[in-house]
Amino acid sequence: MKSGTTSLQELLFANRPALQSQGLLVPGHTWGDQARAVTEVARTARVTGALWSALRDEIAAHDGPAVVSMEYLAPLPPALVAAVVASLGDTRVEVVLTVRDLNRTLVSMWQETIQNGRSWTWADYLDGARRARPRRRVPRVVPEAGRTFWKQQDVVGLVRTWGAAAGPGSVSVVTVPPPGAPRDELAARFGRAVGFSSDGLLSGESANASLGLTSAVLLQRVNAELADRGVSLDAGKRLRKRVLAKQILAARAATEPRIGLPVERWVRSYAAGTVRRLAAEVPRLEGSWADLTPVDVPGSVPATVDDTALTDTAGRAFAELRTVLAERGVTPPEEWPVGASGDRAVAALAGLVAAGVRAGVTA
């Protein structure tokens, strides 16, 4: 997760005929078909569901290689990983893991969890990641934020789990290029790992938009307010992420400061250990291990967001979300409170989201 997967998935499905001419099958009509099939496996802990079976049958009917890309595959438990591999029968399974440097990943993963409805503050998220990092002596108390981060980002653990299921020599690592690299470099590396040429392929525009600093802080606080009101993660996830985050707040990103993170000592040390272990275990690398050296992320910290900026962003988001709900036939009773600021502004926006959830609006 958060290692260039969205752009690669867009590349695959924007170029299905061209890839087919190279002998590579991209199963499913859209990426959503792959996503739903993998989600079915993750949620049911079974590989006999209709969606996964359809994907598997399409792969089996193709005389040549096929590629499935969905982030939920990576952290599946070992027994389920083994079942996924076994479900493909005699097909040789090769695993390609894209990996980004740890410091940039920390920033992007917090944003992802916030967009998915979590309410961990930036400070709590960083502290949880630091305290929960995989090591020989596991602390007695592991913060949930840290467990969630490392479930997706324990790269060495992911390599070992999939390597054990798919067999020796089955895992390749593709490193995400550092800032300033050519835009198409990740696609070229991924193509070499999978076995296709990316020359001349359409790249498309990534839909995985990030948030500016103020919007991220606002969304985190809205999530906390919604949790207090009893709105579950699943109930409000689609409206929060697809509408409020991706459509409304992401559009403000260019006008807001970005989240910054200098490289801390533990990040540098842990990343160096990760590279040593990966270099000893991974038979094939596309890119450079140096790409995983953590780099400073320029920007500001969430603590610098003041009530004035937060209130302004909340008010604009409230107006736009109210319009979206009206277009879907929902006229919430909530009006923007006169003189609202800070907590009241957050509560007003959260109330509007809750009204949309109660009305069944999803996207």
Question: pTM for this structure?
Answer: 0.94
- The confidence score (pLDDT) of residue 186 equals 97
Task: Provide, rounded to the nearest whole percent, the portion of the chain with pLDDT above 70.
Answer: 97
Mean pLDDT of 30-46: 97
Q: Provide the CB-side half-sphere exposure for 40 (13 A, CA).
A: 16
- The confidence score (pLDDT) of residue 359 equals 85
- The confidence score (pLDDT) of residue 15 equals 97
| Three-state DSSP class for residue 183 | coil
Q: Is the pLDDT of residue 45 over 70?
A: yes
Looking at residue 225, its amino acid is: E
Q: Is the pLDDT of residue 136 over 90?
A: no
Q: Which residue from 40, 66, 62 is spatially nearest to 52, judged by alpha carbons?
A: 40
- The confidence score (pLDDT) of residue 348 equals 95
Torsion of CA 189, 191, 193, 196, to 10 degrees: -150
Task: Provide, rounded to the nearest whole percent, the portion of the chain with pLDDT above 90.
Answer: 86
- The confidence score (pLDDT) of residue 105 equals 98
- The confidence score (pLDDT) of residue 138 equals 64
For tokens 């996503």, name the residue: 35
Alpha-carbon distance values, 3 to 57, 244, 338 (Å): 29, 23, 43
- Read off the pLDDT of residues 142-195 as tens digits, 9 standing for 90 and up: 889 999 999 999 999 999 999 999 999 999 999 999 999 999 999 999 999 999
- The confidence score (pLDDT) of residue 142 equals 82
Q: Which residue from 279, 266, 35, 30 is spatially nearest to 171, judged by alpha carbons?
A: 279
- The confidence score (pLDDT) of residue 208 equals 64
pLDDT confidence band for 206 (50 / 70 / 90): low
Choice among 64-68, 194-198, 238-242, 328-332 with the minimum mean pLDDT: 328-332
Output the CA torsion sign for 137, 139, 140, 145: negative
Q: Is the pLDDT of residue 125 over 90?
A: yes
pLDDT confidence band for 205 (50 / 70 / 90): low
Q: Provide the CB-side half-sphere exposure for 356 (13 A, CA).
A: 29
- Read off the pLDDT of residues 348-362 as tens digits, 9 standing for 90 and up: 999 999 999 888 877
The ranges assigned to domains in the chain are 5-194, 213-256+306-358
Distance CA 96, CA 98 (A): 7
Q: Is the pLDDT of residue 83 over 80?
A: yes
Distance CA 113, CA 116 (A): 5
DSSP 296-342: -B-SB-GGG--HHHHHHHHHHHHHHHHHHHHHTT---S--PPTT--T
Tokens for 352?
């509007």
The pLDDT mean for the chain works out to: 94
- Read off the pLDDT of residues 296-345 as tens digits, 9 standing for 90 and up: 999 999 999 999 999 999 999 999 999 999 998 888 777 898 888 899 99
- The confidence score (pLDDT) of residue 175 equals 98
